[in-house]
Structure 1
Amino acid sequence: MKRVSQLTALALLCGLASFSSLAADMPNAMTLSQLQAQHGTPVDTRPSAFYNGWPQTFRAPSGHEPAALNLAAAWLDSMSDEQLALWAKNHQLTPATAIALYGDDRDNQAVKARLEKAGYRHVSLLSDALQTPGRLQRLPHFEQLVYPEWIHRLQQGERITAAPSADWKIIEAGWGAPKFYLLGHIPGAGYIDTNEVESEPLWNKVSDDKLKAMLEKHGIRHDTTVILYGRDVYAAARVAQIMLYAGVKDVRLLDGGWKAWSDSGLLVQGGVPGPVKPAPDFGAPIPGQPQLMVDMEQARGMLHRQNASLVSIRSWPEFIGETSGYSYIKPKGEIAGARWGHAGSDATHMEDFHNPDGTMRSADDIAAQWKRWNILPEQHVAFYCGTGWRASETFMYARAMGWKNVAVYDGGWYEWSSHPQNPIISGERGPESAL
Structure 2
Amino acid sequence: MEATVSKRWLLARLYDPEQTIVDCRFTLGKPQAGRESYEQEHIPGAVYLDLELDLSSPVTEHGGRHPLPDPQVLAARLSRLGISNDTRIVAYDDESGMNAARLWWLLRYLGHEQVFILEDSFGTWKAEKYPVTDHQPIRVPSTFVANVQPQMLAGVDEVRTVSEKTVAAMGDTVNSDSTAPHPVLPILIDSRANDRYQGLNETLDKKAGHIPGALNYFWKNTQNADGSYKSADELQEHFTGLDKDREIIVYCGSGVTACPNVLALEKAGYKNVRLYAGSWSDWISYEDNPIASGEK
TM-score (norm 1): 0.57
Q: Distance in 1 between matches of 2:258 and 2:117?
A: 15
Contact persistence 1:171–1:228 (CA under 8 A):
yes
Work out which of the residue numbers 73, 76, 99 in structure 2 matches 1:210. Answer: 73
Contact persistence 1:385–1:391 (CA under 8 A):
yes
Contact persistence 1:311–1:381 (CA under 8 A):
yes
Work out which of the residue numbers 151, 154, 157 in structure 1 matches 2:10. Answer: 151
Residue 21 of structure 2 aligns to a residue in which SS? Answer: strand
Partner of 2:210: 334
Structure with the bigger RCO (C-alpha within 8 Å, sep 6+) is 2
Residue 244 of structure 1 aligns to a residue in which SS? Answer: helix
Partner of 2:157: 297
Return the letter of the residue paired with 1:259.
G
Return the letter of the residue paired with 1:242.
L
Contact persistence 2:248–2:273 (CA under 8 A):
yes
Contact persistence 1:227–1:251 (CA under 8 A):
yes
Work out which of the residue numbers 250, 256, 259 in structure 2 matches 1:392. Answer: 259
* 2:102 equivalent to 1:242: no
Q: Distance in 2 between matches of 1:406 and 1:180?
A: 33
Q: Distance in 2 between matches of 1:264 and 1:291?
A: 40
Work out which of the residue numbers 121, 144, 148 in structure 2 matches 1:282. Answer: 144
**How large is the RMSD of aligned CA atoms in angstroms?**
2.0
- Using the TM superposition, give the Cα deviation of residue 386 of structure 1 relative to its aligned residue in structure 2, in angstroms: 0.4
Q: Is the alpha carbon distance of 1:171 and 1:354 closer, same or farther for their aligned partners in structure 2, counting shifts above 3 Å?
A: same
- Using the TM superposition, give the Cα deviation of residue 156 of structure 1 relative to its aligned residue in structure 2, in angstroms: 5.9
Partner of 1:366: 235
- Using the TM superposition, give the Cα deviation of residue 192 of structure 1 relative to its aligned residue in structure 2, in angstroms: 0.8
Partner of 1:311: 189
Contact persistence 2:222–2:238 (CA under 8 A):
no
Q: Distance in 2 between matches of 1:290 and 1:152?
A: 35
Residue 115 of structure 2 aligns to a residue in which SS? Answer: strand
* 2:187 equivalent to 1:324: no
Q: Distance in 2 between matches of 1:215 and 1:150?
A: 24
Task: Count residues with an aligned counterpart.
Answer: 265
Larger-gyration structure (1/2): 1
Work out which of the residue numbers 244, 258, 264 in structure 1 matches 2:122. Answer: 258
Return the letter of the residue paired with 1:213.
A
Partner of 1:423: 290
Q: Is the alpha carbon distance of 1:427 and 1:185 closer, same or farther for their aligned partners in structure 2, counting shifts above 3 Å?
A: same
- Using the TM superposition, give the Cα deviation of residue 421 of structure 1 relative to its aligned residue in structure 2, in angstroms: 1.7
TM-score (norm 2): 0.82
Partner of 1:192: 49
Contact persistence 2:15–2:45 (CA under 8 A):
no
Return the letter of the residue paired with 2:197.
F
Q: Distance in 1 between matches of 2:248 and 2:80?
A: 32
Structure 1 unmatched ranges of 5 or more: 1-140, 158-165, 344-349, 430-435
Q: Which has the higher helix share?
A: 1
Residue 257 of structure 2 aligns to a residue in which SS? Answer: helix
Residue 198 of structure 1 aligns to a residue in which SS? Answer: coil
Give runs of ≥4 in structure 1 deviating > 4 Å: none
- Using the TM superposition, give the Cα deviation of residue 377 of structure 1 relative to its aligned residue in structure 2, in angstroms: 2.6
Residue 425 of structure 1 aligns to a residue in which SS? Answer: coil
- Using the TM superposition, give the Cα deviation of residue 319 of structure 1 relative to its aligned residue in structure 2, in angstroms: 0.9
Of 331-340 and 391-400, the range deviating more from structure 2: 391-400
Deviations 1:5-54 (A, max 9, x none): xxxxxxxxxxxxxxxxxxxxxxxxxxxxxxxxxxxxxxxxxxxxxxxxxx
* 2:113 equivalent to 1:225: no
- Using the TM superposition, give the Cα deviation of residue 221 of structure 1 relative to its aligned residue in structure 2, in angstroms: 2.1
Q: Distance in 2 between matches of 1:333 and 1:308?
A: 20
Deviations 1:49-107 (A, max 9, x none): xxxxxxxxxxxxxxxxxxxxxxxxxxxxxxxxxxxxxxxxxxxxxxxxxxxxxxxxxxx
Contact persistence 2:105–2:259 (CA under 8 A):
yes
Return the letter of the residue paired with 1:296.
V
- Using the TM superposition, give the Cα deviation of residue 422 of structure 1 relative to its aligned residue in structure 2, in angstroms: 1.5
- Using the TM superposition, give the Cα deviation of residue 341 of structure 1 relative to its aligned residue in structure 2, in angstroms: 1.6
